[in-house]
A and B are shown apart, each in its own frame.
Chain A
């Protein structure tokens, strides 16, 4: 059997592939390599300034005694954030998808409502939840008062990270639900009928049929969620600002160091330092993603 190519020739395939690949190289690969190169210099964000090659000085600075406490705190927050967002978002999304997969009246409406937060921009979401959790007068304050308590919400260093996680889950659940719904609809209905005949209850159906057969959707969602939440800083920036210790995550540290953060905050280092943190984050995200991917693939293959 001979190889078949679209338009009949291998060179056409190669040429069209190259045309598609060039923008990817230009806008993704070259900047990524450039960031690595930048992290070995002391470039600052301004014109006219000379650039010097400093080798691994930026990396040494990252792990130096002065910055280590700050960076370890940022790493800790990043991991807590990523773990909780991934777990909560996926569990809730699966339950909601299972609910929405049934033939009820108004499922289309409910699906739209669940998906709505995804189309709002980060700034809008940040504004909405800042208003919802305004300590002086807001729905959040009213609910807290029912329990006889009051809180500074995003100002309270003990709960602010968890509030931000809540908002992040709320904002991202739409996409996860859509992916799970697509996966659920690929499961043949006969399996459920057979299970009902055998006397399985809803929980057993969920555990024994739905969850195993959703393998690809779970892999996709988990990876998207982990990689996204390890690098996400936009919502945290909008809700709590760039200089809040309790919600400092690594990507926000990159933003603060690279772009000066706020008008009052951040003794800005050079952008070379920000690039170094960025490379460290890349390595961290890469390692975590590879581990998770290996585990999920093995789980899929086991079926």
Chain B
């Protein structure tokens, strides 16, 4: 006999779903507005203790540098338990944002970039939004910030305040070259684009691949190298960015198109099937002497050193993309990893003590020795490599990607905005078609 005792009256299905979604909204808005900003300036703890989570993106040189500093810090303050995490670049964005939301970063990386006046605020990067919302501890009034070179601090200032500690500088608008190969064929460092093409043609005629490019993951550095000398000064680059944003110049016009045609020329000089070659394979190939030059940044120098050993002779010079030698005289670069303390860190005092420790010249030296960066503090001894390129770095020139702000509403091809990845063999277009495609994507963002 069927029993009727247990008839449960359930609300109509639509109401149940609505309740569930309202609950979801309530929970989730509750989560996001639950954090208050920390008031006032923080000071470094005089006796640091507890857990210290240091989270950075991974690179061979800087990892070793941080390990050296961490060791010294732990030796000085035995009460601190340093948990150092170096996340590989591919996973960095996702891992960083989840740890930041969880509040498990005490010292991390941040790079808030001030927007130029002609860019709408909706294009603000995540770090800038974080700084605006009070998510980063203000370091402006800290004593240890005075140890750094003023021009470097100016480059990373955000809305008049300092939120980050610069760990060094890197340059990447140049190429490494194999000194042995150059000597063998009596080649000199080219200072103009036509000289560079002559050098490459000579190498090609001798059966040597002139240039190594890693198309799979880092072909962008070629585009940046070309842009560096076609728009030599910071003002030229700022004018380019402004002109694109107020639509007074187009990506298909004169010099902008020249960027892509020169990038294509570089592709033609590269090793066969470079589109599938990864960064590490390219570095290995260079060290093995498979090609005479390699477009890359100075961060890779310590790896090349240890892979090549003392018998491998190499140097670095700016990629001369202009026909005017004066334009090609300097390297473009950026301020490297910049350390910050998130406001939701559970051990702010110790985090500040770590930054203070890092900024002391004797400890910064330990970092610099391993990291392969140029120093961001004055009066630092430079490595033989950086001494060899001192002429190219006597004035710091910011590279294009530190000035350009992409329009989030524009199409994907206008991101850099030069469409280097659309050009064959990375894509399937000619330089003119690639320029047209990126111009169309750029225009659609307005």
Contact = CB atoms under 8 A, between A and B. Distances in A.
Interface of A: 2-3, 10-11, 14, 29-30, 33-34, 36-38, 43-51, 61, 64-67, 69-70, 130, 133-136, 150-158, 240-243, 245, 259-269
A10 B2 CA distance: 11
A152 B412 contact: no
Contact of B32 (A50, A66, A243): A50
Interface stretch (B19-27, B181-189, B258-266, B368-376): B19-27
B64 interface: no
Q: Nearest 10 A-B pairs (CB), nearest first?
A: A155-B275, A155-B276, A260-B93, A152-B276, A135-B273, A259-B94, A152-B273, A45-B97, A66-B444, A48-B133
Nearest to B218: A264
A241 B421 CA distance: 13
A67 B412 contact: yes
A150 to B, nearest CB: 6
Interface of B: 1-3, 6, 8, 17, 20-21, 23-25, 27-29, 32-33, 35, 37, 57, 89-90, 92-94, 97-98, 100-101, 103, 126, 129-130, 133-135, 215-218, 220, 271-278, 281, 285, 290, 342-344, 406-412, 415, 421-422, 425-428, 441, 444-445
A47 B132 CA distance: 12
B276 A49 contact: no
B78 to A, nearest CB: 31
B129 A46 contact: yes
Given A48-B35, A135-B272, A156-B425, 13 more contacts: A34-B28, A46-B130, A47-B100, A47-B342, A48-B134, A50-B32, A50-B33, A50-B133, A136-B285, A151-B276, A152-B273, A152-B276, A259-B97
B28 A38 contact: yes
B411 A66 contact: yes
Given A48-B37, A70-B411, A262-B93, A156 B126 contact: no
Contacts of A243: 421
B408 A10 contact: no
A262 B90 contact: yes
Contacts of A136: 271, 273, 277, 281, 285, 290
A153 B20 contact: no
Contacts, number: 176
Nearest to A51: B32
Contacts of A259: 93-94, 97
Contact of B20 (A2, A33, A135): A33
Contact of A155 (B408, B422, B425, B445): B425
Given A37-B21, A150-B272, A46 B97 contact: yes
Contacts of B135: 46-49
Nearest to B131: A48
A157 B21 CA distance: 42
B426 A157 contact: yes
A33 B32 contact: no
A272 B218 CA distance: 29
A10 B5 CA distance: 10
Contact of A267 (B342, B406, B428): B406
A151 B273 contact: yes
Nearest to A43: B32
Contacts of A260: 93-94, 97, 126
B266 to A, nearest CB: 16
A157 B424 CA distance: 9
In the complex, which of the residues A29, A130, A136, A152 has the most CB atoms of chain B within 10 Å of its own CB atom? Answer: A136
A58 to B, nearest CB: 12
B108 to A, nearest CB: 12
A155 B129 contact: no
Nearest to A240: B216
A48 B35 CA distance: 6
Nearest to B411: A66
Contacts of B444: 64-66
A213 to B, nearest CB: 39
B408 A269 contact: yes
In the complex, which of the residues A50, A133, A263 has the most CB atoms of chain B within 10 Å of its own CB atom? Answer: A263
A33 B410 contact: no
In the complex, which of the residues B21, B281, B343, B411 has the most CB atoms of chain A within 10 Å of its own CB atom? Answer: B411
B20 A66 contact: no
A33 B133 contact: no
Contacts of B24: 30, 33-34, 37
Contacts of B28: 34, 37-38, 43
A266 to B, nearest CB: 8
A260 to B, nearest CB: 3
Contacts of A157: 275, 425-428
21 contacts: A33-B21, A38-B28, A44-B129, A46-B101, A46-B129, A46-B135, A47-B32, A47-B135, A47-B344, A49-B129, A51-B33, A66-B410, A69-B441, A134-B276, A152-B274, A155-B275, A155-B277, A157-B425, A263-B89, A264-B218, A267-B408
